[in-house]
Amino acid sequence: MSAKARLYAIMEKAEEGDRLSRVFDICIVTLIVFNVTMVILETVKGMKEVYGGFVDIFEAVCVLVFTAEYMLRIWCCTADAKFARPIKGRLAFMLTPLAMIDLIAIFPYYVFLLVTVPPNYTLPLRLLRLFRLLKVGRYSHSMRLFGGVIWQKRQELYIVALALMLLLVIVSSLMYFVEHHAQPEAFSSIPKTMWWGIVTLTTVGYGDVFPITPLGKFLGALIAVLGVGMFALPAGILSSGFVEAMQDSDRDHKCPHCGKEIRNPK
Amino acid sequence: MSAKARLYAIMEKAEEGDRLSRVFDICIVTLIVFNVTMVILETVKGMKEVYGGFVDIFEAVCVLVFTAEYMLRIWCCTADAKFARPIKGRLAFMLTPLAMIDLIAIFPYYVFLLVTVPPNYTLPLRLLRLFRLLKVGRYSHSMRLFGGVIWQKRQELYIVALALMLLLVIVSSLMYFVEHHAQPEAFSSIPKTMWWGIVTLTTVGYGDVFPITPLGKFLGALIAVLGVGMFALPAGILSSGFVEAMQDSDRDHKCPHCGKEIRNPK
Amino acid sequence: MSAKARLYAIMEKAEEGDRLSRVFDICIVTLIVFNVTMVILETVKGMKEVYGGFVDIFEAVCVLVFTAEYMLRIWCCTADAKFARPIKGRLAFMLTPLAMIDLIAIFPYYVFLLVTVPPNYTLPLRLLRLFRLLKVGRYSHSMRLFGGVIWQKRQELYIVALALMLLLVIVSSLMYFVEHHAQPEAFSSIPKTMWWGIVTLTTVGYGDVFPITPLGKFLGALIAVLGVGMFALPAGILSSGFVEAMQDSDRDHKCPHCGKEIRNPK
Amino acid sequence: MSAKARLYAIMEKAEEGDRLSRVFDICIVTLIVFNVTMVILETVKGMKEVYGGFVDIFEAVCVLVFTAEYMLRIWCCTADAKFARPIKGRLAFMLTPLAMIDLIAIFPYYVFLLVTVPPNYTLPLRLLRLFRLLKVGRYSHSMRLFGGVIWQKRQELYIVALALMLLLVIVSSLMYFVEHHAQPEAFSSIPKTMWWGIVTLTTVGYGDVFPITPLGKFLGALIAVLGVGMFALPAGILSSGFVEAMQDSDRDHKCPHCGKEIRNPK
């Protein structure tokens, strides 16, 4: 294997038994976790003042590593048959979602370095660094498993999303009609009543808006009892999808008639 | 096929492979979604003033389309054996729930056009236009699937509804008895205490009413722990019904090796 | 069949095809539902003043019917082999839970009639009439099915109850220790902190008590994420028990090896 | 069996049919439950003043019993092959988690007896006595079953914990960015916004922080609908694990007619 192909193998998800690749993955994930933690803690007032110096150095080191990683990835991506052509292949690679995330994750640092950013854009640019978190998806089996569950249940989730949307519109329109006059501020329009609708149907119930008229309370109670079951459907779908996904990797499936293994009986 | 029969086929739910019918469905659904969105946004103060002209024209166009659709449906419904007779068949068709919804959905526009509506009736009439949303049910596979789940589980839901009603009465009566003296306003009667009961048992918990006496808190805690499991039953029933419904249409119950059917692989 | 035996058959749960018994059941249940609704509505201020006369008459009629029913039950219970002996059998019948409920349900009326009840005891005595609701259990298939589910899952519920108790004690002690100094009123003792614990772990979240210190919030967040899964267990147990109970009456169970029916495979 | 071996058998979890061991277990568990109840009630103001004398005596008796139990355990642990050596074995036994819990549970009493504890350390030391609760784990089948479920599902729970962490960071960062300017106090930093995130996603919804800007509400509603399904996963995992654990011990997988085993009837 050429050095380039070996490097590519290391940087991509670890193969079973490839220890160097595994070590590389763990190092990068650890770095990302620490870096993201720092980005989060930076927003706490007073943090920057005390640990500012360390934070700046650590950020520089991280960006250096991530830049090197990004460069190496672009260089060695031609080892993959899909991106084999020197220019076109590398451009195609750079346009893959994962490579875009890599770029966005280091991008803010260089903007701050090169341009004077207007104060309004400082915070969004800083927060853009949180895209580094998405890099974890490349290495984490858990995240891929999760993404797989959501992808496999996309049809169910889509149907439920439609039904919930419909339910929310009906419920909010009814409530708007009933409570509008008693609370012209909290239930000032149907879109605003939808805030009440979602807060109630997901059972969050902050308590910032709730019906106060007897009819509104009666309707609200009815909606809560009936609607809560509907809004719990995504939870049920994801749960069953997750249980299935975990079982698939564990359980062997056999036909009760011929005894042969069934790969994917779903 | 006669023109009438063809038109009827187009207007009813798209058959597999009938492209014109499918295009018709998508157009109508899109129109409904935009129209309903507008009805909802109209309730936001200031919206009407800015986009009033466009809104009025769009509404007129929509009603025109829906009226034409309604007329055509009545004309060509005789293509169906059920409504074959020219007068009686058409009247029977007009009394079907879906045709009623079609009528209600355009009805308010003509009322506003023909009569001076007293201010008290303006809002209800306007909101009546939201019935257009129910027209989506005619075309949407998701909505029919949902309706099917609820219909199939009607017996379970009915039993649970009875049990929840009973639980609510008992729980609210107990709480009324315990908290009535400490909070004569919030727990002024059993029906009013039921508002607390539902808000607690569905775990919405707005925080507008809650027990304050030690005994009330003890009872409330007990009720919450025991009752929450009961009020989660509709969610569980709908979830399992939905999962079953999705599996029924997806899964082939045949072993890929021997081709025999596998009974009830759940 | 003797008149007594026939009467007993009518008053007990309707056999398949016994129309008279079925009619009797429906009448009594309807009467109970109306009567309980009235007892509930009586607690609403102003109700009594307006409908007082009707309420009193209806109550008298109900008590008369229930008393007659109770008397007849005691008279004809000897038709059952279990209560065959004229005196001892009838006494044994009177001590069964269902007969006790029947007695308690009519008892308050006669107390009010015969004795001057001190004002403190008026409300409890009035509410005692809600025991009439429990009479529904005798006739309702749904209620018996529900009771059956809870009874069948008693072991699971007991285990979970123990675990939740333990969790609650640990969680509340920790929170008490952390938040006690910051909110000496809301978290004044471990029992009082348990109120916070239950309101949080059942996800009701009224918002009357919540941690305000950073450490308290961190601990509270951890507890919420970890504990909510535990407190959802009763809901899961009841749901699965209910689904099983519904399937048991629907589905025939056959052994895949010999094809014979399996009565109760659990 | 030597006296030591018999004592060891009694003190460890009751074998099937060992009545003395069972009685010993029940006595200790009862003592623990009463003692822990007292530790909890002691934190209620006024309790100590009234029942102080009894409390002190009961505490002394409990500590005496627990100390004797601890000593006896150390003495007879050599009956177990694992801890057979007189000194090294006993030291190894003392370092097992259960023995450590036994020690911690009696430790505070002797500290209070021997040293003048500075007021700051009084409360933590007192609460340390709640470790006695963990001693129940040694005897309780329920607690072991629960621990087993969590252990068996550790992989699933770990994956979900990672995904929830990721979701929480993304959701809180977005919300921080959107609401920071409107509510600089409640959404002052990403870690503080995480409090909102957890309170919302677990559907607790205290109502101490919630978005107030239209964009914040829109985002919050989206997050609630999408995220609630994710945060319900631990509940689903624990529920299914618990149901499996209960079925494993209950159900015989044999056809009552032909006696053959039925594989995986789920």
Searching chain D, which residue's CA lies closest to the CA of residue C221? D198
Residues of C in contact with D250 (CB under 8 A): 266
Query: Which residue from C45, C8, C42, C11 is spatially nearest to C28, judged by alpha carbons?
Result: C11
Per-residue pLDDT of chain C (266 residues), as tens digits, is 678 888 888 877 666 677 888 888 888 888 999 989 988 988 888 877 787 788 888 889 999 999 999 999 888 888 888 888 888 999 999 998 888 988 988 888 898 889 888 888 888 888 888 888 888 877 777 778 888 888 988 988 888 888 899 899 999 999 999 999 999 999 999 999 999 999 999 999 999 999 999 999 999 999 998 888 888 888 888 888 888 888 776 554 555 556 555 544 43
The pLDDT of residue B264 is above 70: no
Answer whether C9's CB lies under 8 Å from C15's CB.
yes
State the average pLDDT for chain A: 85
Its pTM stands at: 0.86
pLDDT-wise least confident of B172-176, C192-196, D146-150: D146-150
- Cβ within 8 Å of residue A213, ≥6 positions away: A178, A179, A182
- The alpha carbon of residue A41 is apart from the nearest alpha carbon of chain B, in Å, by 32
Query: Which residue from A107, A28, A96 is spatially nearest to A65, judged by alpha carbons?
Result: A28
Residue entry with tokens 């090896």: C257
pLDDT grade for D249, boundaries at 50, 70 and 90: low
- The alpha carbon of residue C217 is apart from the nearest alpha carbon of chain A, in Å, by 15
pLDDT grade for A264, boundaries at 50, 70 and 90: very low
CB-CB under 8 Å, D237 with A243: yes
pLDDT digits (tens, 9 = 90+) for A8-34: 888 776 666 778 888 888 888 889 999
Query: Residue D255: what pLDDT?
Result: 55
Searching chain D, which residue's CA lies closest to the CA of residue C158? D142
The pLDDT of residue A254 is above 60: no
Tell me the CA distances in angstroms from B221 to C49, C200, C204, C234, D82, one per residue in order: 35, 11, 10, 15, 46
What is the average per-residue pLDDT within B168-180? Answer: 93
Query: Residue A68: what pLDDT?
Result: 92
Helix, strand or coil for residue B18?
Answer: coil
Burial of D129 (0-12, 13-18, 19+ CB in 10 A): buried
Chain centre distance of CA D56: 27
Query: Residue A223: what pLDDT?
Result: 93
The pLDDT of residue D264 is above 50: no
- The alpha carbon of residue B165 is apart from the nearest alpha carbon of chain C, in Å, by 11
- Cβ within 8 Å of residue D88, ≥6 positions away: none
Of these ranges, B258-262, C146-150, D214-218, the one predicted with the greatest mean pLDDT is: D214-218
Q: Which helix (H) or strand (E) holds B50?
A: helix B47-76
pLDDT digits (tens, 9 = 90+) for A68-77: 999 998 888 8
ipTM, interface predicted TM-score of the complex? 0.84
The pLDDT of residue B127 is above 90: no
CA–CA gap between residue B59 and residue B48 (Å, rounded)? 13
Query: Residue B261: what pLDDT?
Result: 56
Residues of B in contact with A235 (CB under 8 A): 239
Helix, strand or coil for residue B260?
Answer: coil
Query: Which residue from B217, B161, B170, B172 is spatially nearest to B198, judged by alpha carbons?
Result: B172
What is the average per-residue pLDDT within A197-223? Answer: 94
Which architecture does CATH list for B141-266?
Orthogonal Bundle (1.10)
Answer whether D196's CB lies under 8 Å from D175's CB.
yes
The DSSP annotation for chain A comes to --HHHHHHHHHSSPPTT-HHHHHHHHHHHHHHHHHHHHHHHHTSTTHHHHHHHHHHHHHHHHHHHHHHHHHHHHHHGGGSGGG-STTHHHHHHHTSHHHHHHHHHHHHHHHHHHS---HHHHHHHHHHGGGHHHHHHHH-HHHHHHHHHHHHTHHHHHHHHHHHHHHHHHHHHHHHHHHTTT-TTTTSSHHHHHHHHHHHHTT---SSS---SHHHHHHHHHHHHHHHHHHTHHHHHHHHHHHHHHHHHH---B-TTT--B-S---
CA–CA gap between residue A253 and residue A238 (Å, rounded)? 22
CB-CB under 8 Å, B206 with D203: no
For residue B45, give the nearest of A176, A189, A210 by CB distance.
A189
CA–CA gap between residue B82 and residue A16 (Å, rounded)? 65
CB-CB under 8 Å, B166 with C133: yes
Burial of D216 (0-12, 13-18, 19+ CB in 10 A): buried
State the average pLDDT for chain D: 85
CB-CB under 8 Å, C45 with B189: yes
The pLDDT of residue B23 is above 90: no
What percent of chain B clears pLDDT 70, i.e. is strictly above it? 91
pLDDT digits (tens, 9 = 90+) for D94-120: 998 888 988 988 888 898 889 888 888
Query: Which residue from A198, A200, A172, A168 is spatially nearest to A187, judged by alpha carbons?
Result: A172
Searching chain D, which residue's CA lies closest to the CA of residue A43? D189
pLDDT grade for D252, boundaries at 50, 70 and 90: very low
Query: Residue A8: what pLDDT?
Result: 83
Query: Residue A13: what pLDDT?
Result: 62
CB-CB under 8 Å, C207 with A207: yes
Query: Which residue from A24, A5, A3, A2 is spatially nearest to A13, judged by alpha carbons?
Result: A24
Query: Residue A265: what pLDDT?
Result: 41
pLDDT digits (tens, 9 = 90+) for B229-238: 888 888 888 8
Which own/partner contact pairs does A138-146 have at CB distance under 8 Å and 24+ positions apart? A138/A13, A138/A98, A139/A13, A139/A14, A139/A25, A139/A28, A139/A29, A140/A29, A140/D162, A142/D158, A142/D159, A142/D162, A142/D163, A143/D162, A143/D163, A143/D166, A145/A245, A145/D159, A146/A242, A146/D159, A146/D163
pLDDT-wise least confident of A251-265, B78-92, B112-126, C13-27: A251-265
The pLDDT of residue D197 is above 60: yes
Preferred mutation among A47, A153, A210, A242 to probe D, highest tally of D CBs within 10 A: A242
Query: Residue B265: what pLDDT?
Result: 41
The pLDDT of residue A145 is above 90: no
pLDDT digits (tens, 9 = 90+) for D52-109: 788 888 889 999 999 999 999 888 888 888 888 888 999 999 998 888 988 988 888 8
Query: Residue C86: what pLDDT?
Result: 86
CA–CA gap between residue C208 and residue B205 (Å, rounded)? 10
The DSSP annotation for D144-157 comes to HHHHHHHHHTHHHH
Query: Residue C209: what pLDDT?
Result: 94
Helices (H) and strands (E) in chain B, counts: 12, 0
Tell me the CA distances in angstroms from D209 to C122, C200, C207, one per residue in order: 44, 15, 10
Chain centre distance of CA B125: 19
The domain locations on chain C are 3-139, 141-266
Chain C adjacent subunits, 3+ CB pairs under 8 A:
A, B, D
Residues of D in contact with C169 (CB under 8 A): 36, 40, 130, 133
Q: Which helix (H) or strand (E) holds D138?
A: helix D132-139
Answer whether C86's CB lies under 8 Å from C94's CB.
no
pLDDT-wise least confident of A122-126, A247-251, B166-170, C45-49: A247-251
Q: Does domain A3-139 have CATH number 1.20.120.350?
A: yes
Taking phi over 0 as left and psi of -120 to 50 as alpha, with beta for the rest, A85 belongs to beta
Chain centre distance of CA D113: 28
CA–CA gap between residue B134 and residue B131 (Å, rounded)? 5
What is the average per-residue pLDDT within A211-235? Answer: 91
The DSSP annotation for D42-87 comes to HTSTTHHHHHHHHHHHHHHHHHHHHHHHHHHHHHHGGGSGGG-STT
Answer whether D168's CB lies under 8 Å from A133's CB.
no
The DSSP annotation for C109-155 comes to HHHHHHS---HHHHHHHHHHGGGHHHHHHHH-HHHHHHHHHHHHTHH
CA–CA gap between residue C73 and residue C102 (Å, rounded)? 10
Cα dihedral A123, A129, A131, A134 sign: negative
Residue D96's CB is within 10 A of a number of other CB atoms, namely 13
Burial of A52 (0-12, 13-18, 19+ CB in 10 A): exposed
The residue type of B255 is C
What is the average per-residue pLDDT within A123-147? Answer: 81
pLDDT digits (tens, 9 = 90+) for B242-253: 888 887 765 544
The pLDDT of residue D266 is above 60: no
Q: Dig out the tokens for A110 from the structure.
A: 């260089």
The pLDDT of residue D265 is above 50: no
CB-CB under 8 Å, C205 with D123: no
Answer whether A126's CB lies under 8 Å from A42's CB.
yes
Query: Residue C20: what pLDDT?
Result: 84
Residue B61's CB is within 10 A of a number of other CB atoms, namely 12
The pLDDT of residue B62 is above 80: yes
CA–CA gap between residue B252 and residue D199 (Å, rounded)? 42
Residues of D in contact with C205 (CB under 8 A): 199, 203-207
CA–CA gap between residue B243 and residue A235 (Å, rounded)? 12
